[in-house]
Amino acid sequence: MLRTDLLVYLGAFLFCTGLTIAIIKRNVIMVLLGIELMLNGSNVNLIAFNQQHGEALHGHIFALFVIIVAVSEAAIGLAIILRVYRYYQSSVPDQISDLKD
């Protein structure tokens, strides 16, 4: 059996790293990578706490649904990124500011 507290620390670490990546990177694909990392951090938590409950598998199933939603998010996100890139010829979020001006 794995140590739950270490896994929870790992989940928190992955989540915070993903958040920082999404904030500081100047490329929309890197922002998408950060979001994937955050989703994985939450999945680590679900698996870790499922260990405390032995035979129940609700954590595993929740993790599977998280993976499904992550797939949908990646597909739609990249479609939008391609569309925006074709229109602005840029994948830097700071240069896509038509709504701000």
- CA dist 7 and 49 (Å) reads 9
Which of 62, 18, 59, 22 is closest to 40 using CA atoms?
18
Residues 54-73 close enough to bind other proteins by CB under 8 A: 54-58, 60-61, 63-65, 67-73
How many residues belong to the site for other proteins (CB under 8 A)? 69
> What three-state secondary structure class fits 70?
helix
Residues 24-53 close enough to bind other proteins by CB under 8 A: 24-27, 29-30, 32-34, 36-37, 40, 43-44, 47-48, 50-52
Rule CB under 8 A: say whether 96 interacts with other proteins: no
Helix axes 28-50, 58-88, angle to 10 degrees: 180
- Token pair belonging to 43: 């999945």
Separation of first and last alpha carbons in the chain: 55
Rule CB under 8 A: say whether 88 interacts with other proteins: no
Interface residue list for other proteins (CB under 8 A) = 1-10, 12-21, 23-27, 29-30, 32-34, 36-37, 40, 43-44, 47-48, 50-52, 54-58, 60-61, 63-65, 67-76, 78-83, 85, 91, 94
